[in-house]
Amino acid sequence: MTDTPAIQHPDRLRNGDFTQASEPLALFAGWMEEATRSEPNDPNAMALATAGADGFPDVRMVLLKGFDESGFVFFTNLDSAKARELRERPQAALAFHWKSLRRQVRIRGDVTPVSDDEADAYFATRARLAQIGAWASKQSSPLESRLAFEKAVAAVTARHPLGTIPRPPFWSGFRVAPIAIEFWHDRPFRLHDRIAFTRSRPDESWTKTSLYP
Q: pLDDT tens, 67-79?
A: 999 999 999 999 9
Q: Are strands 171-185 and 193-198 parallel, antiparallel or unpaired?
A: antiparallel
Is residue 62 situated within a structural domain?
A: yes
Is residue 141 situated within a structural domain?
A: no
Is residue 74 situated within a structural domain?
A: yes
How many percent of the chain have pLDDT more than 90?
A: 80
The whole-model pTM stands at: 0.87
Which residue range is the domain that position 102 belongs to? 18-127+168-210
The whole-chain average pLDDT of the chain stands at 91
How many whole angstroms separate alpha carbon 189 and alpha carbon 213?
A: 11
How many whole angstroms separate alpha carbon 132 and alpha carbon 152?
A: 9
The total number of structural domains in the chain stands at 1
Taking residues 171-195, report their average pLDDT: 94
Is residue 156 situated within a structural domain?
A: no
Taking residues 44-58, report their average pLDDT: 95
Element (H, E) at 182: strand 171-185
Q: pLDDT tier at 4 (50, 70, 90 boundaries)?
A: very low
Taking residues 31-53, report their average pLDDT: 95
How many whole angstroms separate alpha carbon 196 and alpha carbon 209?
A: 5
**Are the CB atoms for 131 and 179 separated by under 8 Å?**
no
Q: Of 75-84, 105-114, 189-198, where does mean pLDDT reach its minimum? A: 189-198
Q: Of 4-13, 28-37, 168-177, where does mean pLDDT reach its minimum? A: 4-13
Active site residues: 190
Is residue 194 situated within a structural domain?
A: yes
Cα-based angle 207, 210, 213 (whole degrees, multiple of 5):
140
Question: Domain containing 73 — which CATH number?
Answer: 2.30.110.10
Is residue 6 situated within a structural domain?
A: no
Is residue 102 situated within a structural domain?
A: yes
How many percent of the chain have pLDDT more than 70?
A: 92
Q: DSSP secondary-structure letter at 189?
A: G
Is residue 85 situated within a structural domain?
A: yes
